[in-house]
Structure 1
């Protein structure tokens, strides 16, 4: 299998363009509207998140949702014209962001030009053989004078005959055009479990012949991923097994679930050790993570796992702010909203900052990109594992409990430094014992790795010149409950008090770590903003009751 290093080193961002751009639900024709240019305004945000690969859902001309293609060679007019998208692709590439498009090659829409020719010309159409099981022995449920096979019984999605050389040549011609004219770097293959294997072999040979580093990733929900991801076919597939385990292990307070999947896939003797799988926690087809997690305080730990487990992490647009969304009445519209930067409703800016930090960590540490996996500690509510490459280790420790916990496990280096806080931990004869905050995590590296990471992070911040992501002002009304200090500590606000002599308002709060000491601080100081790494952030951020 050709080794595609850029994929291992990527942080993906996934956008469903028709929803993201606010396109009309139905394609009524008319002149193209360059809504796709909206992406240009999001490039600084992508760079702040350390994103270097953008997966765009369907952009080919279609009648409705994009998966009902009507023309493989043209950008959907609701997004703009081909020339508009060329400018967007050029800008993304100039900013070091690769582009992966959705390849919907199993089926087309009823508006596809060849299918309309069959509707108009019946058995005399030269395109009858382009469609799977199309015959004139009876009518279709859509009122046609012929029968055809729809994808999973959906007759608005007409299954292509991928055994017809003309169909294959037409599709490969489209792929070649998007590669040559737009410079795309890969394809996500929709409904890959339904696609003929020989077509994937032809596609692989075609793409590799044009560009050895072109990436092919298939949408696979169930089954042995090696059936599709192998030297002759695809390079990777969607990791739905872990997508489920990442959230349900937190909902059920059972880290054994995700630990089992990671060991089965990537541990010693793991069945997918040689694959770089596409990892995610939500997408355009499944309910948003913030809607399925029973406790939103687990959001940060889920993303910490996503970014530190083997494979390439991907964030679905808006989920970095904890945007919610569920399927309703059979519709995916709630999962595919139009979003505007700076206008995200109920945005969780703390989560977004956490994910940005994870992006920097992911891209700085080769052990997270290429290293092996082995667990160090597994309990129901605590979990630690090691990623190792060429003798250089990264340890990840997580705690999903509502209170701090001490974790103890064996390590191969000392001291180790937490990349979130900069705290250094000594070991005792190879044994590490450290406290992990409630709903929190540590990413631990040797001292020399920490120094390299700090230097690289400072250089990156200086070189990008990108504006900082918007941070909302601290709330001016104090609430009782949990607050997080800008340096990472968790505290519980008990209430307000007044100084007996000056009558100054004070905040009474206690630490949710260590011995749980009580503290007081002037109210104005508690709620003020401070400068951190060149950004203005709240001193404390409210995180819930």
Structure 2
């Protein structure tokens, strides 16, 4: 299946294109700006564009007003169709962000609300997923955009939606990949009950940056054991950054460990994504306040040539590591075993059948020789790959 080869470049269109912070009456054709970045995503090594909210909303996109209409700040349906055509012509898949747990207060069907604000946000009202009309509406939205060429959906706040709901609404008439945003809980059970193809792997995300900051690879080892178990049920959607969390370059206490985090991401099983800007070492701190996401959702220049020069070495690092992934596509379902472990050094072997990739990570301030056959010395705060082929 095509999702086994997917590597997503995720972007948040409203921020990326510099759209106004709240709804506007007139259509502004900003979606065409994204076409300038399609070749950039391909050169990075990605095979799909994972878009944040693009439907008509009051402010940040997660307060939807109309799921059948492109947000006027971004353009119209013709702009969307053109973007899909341009992406597909290059072999890029398109994924949309489906916000079906909650809507804006001005959503035209207040009789569908289940009462109360979503997670205390007074502008977000939760939908009643036991209402057949809600199920019909969500199914109709999915089919409408699937018919316009959508290849995948990220289902926002899926953790707040009864898993059984998805089984009643997901169209299965096309080869569309559905994954849910699940932050905590039993990932495998949610997939089995919901019929989703995947969910977001937040546990691994946290273990990657936390183990590097604390120089405690035992945390990563534990998380990888749990990650392997998930692969018995489904292939998780993996990441080290997205539109909802502090930028990786800001989160890491030592910038030399950026490569370590990326190397882990691209050798463990899963369907990985790169959040736009992380490949340029963008920085940004998420804060729990009004406007607290602005720093992690900035506007981009009109085309890649206008990016600052300092970020391109990180772009090339991504290319190198994504290249490893693409040369070994079986890694999507690989299990990862820990072959050597200390607080500051770890050897990870990801294998599938007779093929394997061995990743050696050293986050100490001294060179490290791993007690494994034919392994080289890894320099202080360095990393190395070995492969079976």
TM-score (norm 2): 0.95
Residue in structure 2 matching 1:166, options 110, 128, 133: 133
Q: Give the direction of change, closer, same or farther, for the CA distance of 1:48–1:334 in structure 2 (3 Å limit).
A: same
Name 1:180's counterpart in structure 2.
147
Deviation at 1:274, TM superposition (A): 3.1
C-alpha distance in 1 between matches for 2:130 and 2:233: 30
Contact 2:346 2:362 in 1 (8 A): yes
Indicate yes or no: 2:238 matched with 1:279: yes
Q: 1:320 is matched with which residue?
A: 279
- What is the CA distance between 1:364 and its match in structure 2? 1.4
Question: How do 1:143-292 and structure 2 match up within 5 A?
Answer: 148-181=115-148, 183-204=149-170, 207-208=171-172, 210-211=173-174, 213-230=175-192, 232-266=194-228, 270-292=229-251
Counterpart pick for 2:312 among 336, 349, 366: 349
User: Take 1:443 and 1:150, find their aligned partners in 2: how far apart are those partners?
Assistant: 48
Contact 1:63 1:70 in 2 (8 A): yes
1:445 aligns with 2:369: no
Q: Which residue of 2 aligns with 1:93?
A: 88
Describe the superposition over 1:117-154 as per-residue Cα deviations: whole angstroms up to 9, x where unpaired.
xxxxxxxxxxx2x111xxxxxxxxxxxxxxx3211122
| Contact map agreement 1:15 1:316 (CA 8 A) in 2 | yes
Structure with the higher fraction of residues in helix conformation: 2
Is this contact kept in 2: 1:11–1:363, CA < 8 A?
A: no
State the 1:329 CA deviation.
Answer: 5.9
Q: CA deviation at 1:394?
A: 1.5
Query: Are positions 1:74 and 2:69 aligned together?
Result: yes
Measured after TM superposition, the shift of residue 444 of structure 1 is 1.2
Q: Is the 8 A contact 2:268 2:335 kept in 1?
A: no
Misfit runs of 4+, over 6 Å: none
1:376 CA drift (Å): 1.3
2:138 & 2:375 partners in 1: Cα distance?
Answer: 57
Name the larger-Rg structure.
1
Whether the aligned pair in 1 keeps the contact of 2:267 and 2:357 (CA below 8 Å) is no
1:380 shift after superposition: 1.3
Q: 1:197, 1:251 → 2: CA distance?
A: 35
Query: Relative contact order, CA 8 A, sep 6+: which one is greater?
Result: 2
Give, in whole Å, the separation in 2 of the partners of 1:154 and 1:371: 40
Q: Post-superposition shift, 1:366?
A: 3.1
Look up the SS of the partner of 1:432 in the other structure. coil
Given the alignment of the two structures, is residue 370 of structure 1 paired with residue 333 of structure 2, yes or no? yes
1:386 equivalent in structure 2: 349
Structure-1 separation of matches of 2:33 and 2:223: 38
Deviation at 1:248, TM superposition (A): 0.9
Alpha-carbon distance between aligned partners in 2 of 1:356 and 1:279, rounded to the nearest angstrom: 17
329 and 373 in structure 1: CA distance in 2 versus 1, 3 angstrom threshold: closer
Structure 2 CA distance, aligned partners of 1:75 and 1:404? Answer: 54
CA positional deviation for 1:74 = 0.6
Equivalent pair of 2:188/2:233 in contact (CA under 8 Å): no
Other structure's SS at 2:40 match:
helix
- Secondary structure, counterpart of 1:373 in structure 2: strand
* 1:335 correspondence with 2:265: no
Stretches of structure 2 lacking an aligned partner (at least 5 in a row): none
User: What is the aligned-residue RMSD (CA, Å)?
Assistant: 1.6
TM-score, normalised via structure 1 length: 0.68
| Cα offsets for 1:231-290 (capped at 9, x unmatched) | 752111111111111111111111111111002220xxx244332111111211111111
Task: Measure how far apart 1:18 and its partner are.
Answer: 0.3
The residue aligned with 2:30 is: 35
Give the unaligned 5+ runs of structure 1: 116-127, 133-147, 410-430, 450-545
Pick aligned residue for 2:108 from 106, 113, 118:
113
- Whole-angstrom distance in 1 between the partners of 2:230 and 2:143: 33
Change (3 A) 1:232 1:104: closer
SS in structure 1 opposite 2:370? strand
Q: Please state how far the C-alpha of 1:8 moved relative to its aligned partner.
A: 2.4
Report the counterpart of residue 17 of structure 2 in structure 1: 21
